[in-house]
Homo-oligomer: A and B are copies of this chain.
Amino acid sequence: MPVKENAAAAVNFRPAVTKRASEIIYEQVKEMILKGELNPGDRLPSERNMMEMFQRSRPTIREALRMLERTGYIRIVAGSNGAVVLEPDDKNIQQTMEDALQVGHISLAEMSEYRRISEDATIVWACSRRTDEDLAALRAQLDKMAACVEQPEEYIGMDPAYHGLLAKAAKNQVGIVMNKTFSAINQNFMRTKIVGMTPAAQKKMFRKVHEMHEEIYRAVQAGDEQRARTAMAQHLSAFETDLK
């Protein structure tokens, strides 16, 4: 049974938290960036100037700057320009997600499972939304990859770009971010796995992979949802089998 609360305690007090000065500065700058009062490329005042503005010491200012840089809002280079507001980037989301996956002890199987449904949706969207530019970019990427089928290292390096272009064609930013995450993680797995294979087995595998990539492209080009879904599903499951 829950403890009966004292009637006077029901006034809905909020915890009286005291924030660090660096925290307040961090939030203030972050807000300005999110609200567009500070735009990508803009220079932040120098640390010594901020000291005056915020009426705080330099270490305090610097702690705030470190947080802003770590969370991807600004970049700080010594000597010249100082702190510059960055273009919004998915790298942070991607990185945090990768770390979360790593810390959360997520298995390859779970990630692959989720990837399947994510890529399935992506490929469906891509079939109806791909522009001529998307197709041209995919074609060019595939041609580049075709030249590297015999060089696994190179091919693995190009794989994320191909899948990225598919996600881009699907026109959903969340899908793009997730796709990048999956690609990055799977790339690592792939790299560690192929070292135990004979060169002949590697070549065979990557020739198969490339043919799948081509088939997916053809299906997307034709706008054939079912064919594209099937191809992507086969591609991913073959991939998982090979990595097992």
Could you tell me which A residues sit within 8 Å of B by CB distance?
A: 22, 26, 30, 33-34, 59, 62-64, 66-67, 70-72, 88, 90, 92-93, 96-97, 99-107, 110-111, 113-114, 117-118, 120-121, 172-175, 177-178
Contact = CB atoms under 8 A, between A and B. Distances in A.
A111 B93 CA distance: 14
Report, nearest first, the 7 A-B pairs whose CB atoms are least far apart. Answer: A114-B174, A88-B103, A117-B121, A67-B70, A106-B173, A63-B66, A59-B59
Given A67-B67, A92-B96, 9 more contacts: A22-B66, A67-B70, A88-B105, A101-B177, A106-B174, A110-B172, A110-B174, A111-B174, A114-B172
Given A63-B63, A103-B34, A71 B88 contact: no
A88 B66 contact: no
A54 to B, nearest CB: 15
Nearest to A92: B96
A24 B118 CA distance: 35
Given A66-B67, A172-B110, A173-B110, A93 B103 contact: no
A104 B173 contact: yes
Number of copies: 2
A97 B22 CA distance: 23
A157 to B, nearest CB: 13
Contacts of A71: 70-71, 96
A185 B22 CA distance: 26
29 contacts: A26-B70, A34-B103, A59-B62, A63-B63, A63-B66, A64-B66, A67-B67, A67-B70, A71-B71, A72-B96, A90-B100, A92-B96, A93-B93, A93-B96, A93-B97, A97-B177, A100-B173, A101-B174, A101-B177, A104-B177, A105-B173, A106-B173, A107-B173, A110-B173, A111-B174, A114-B121, A114-B175, A117-B117, A117-B118
Contacts of A30: 99
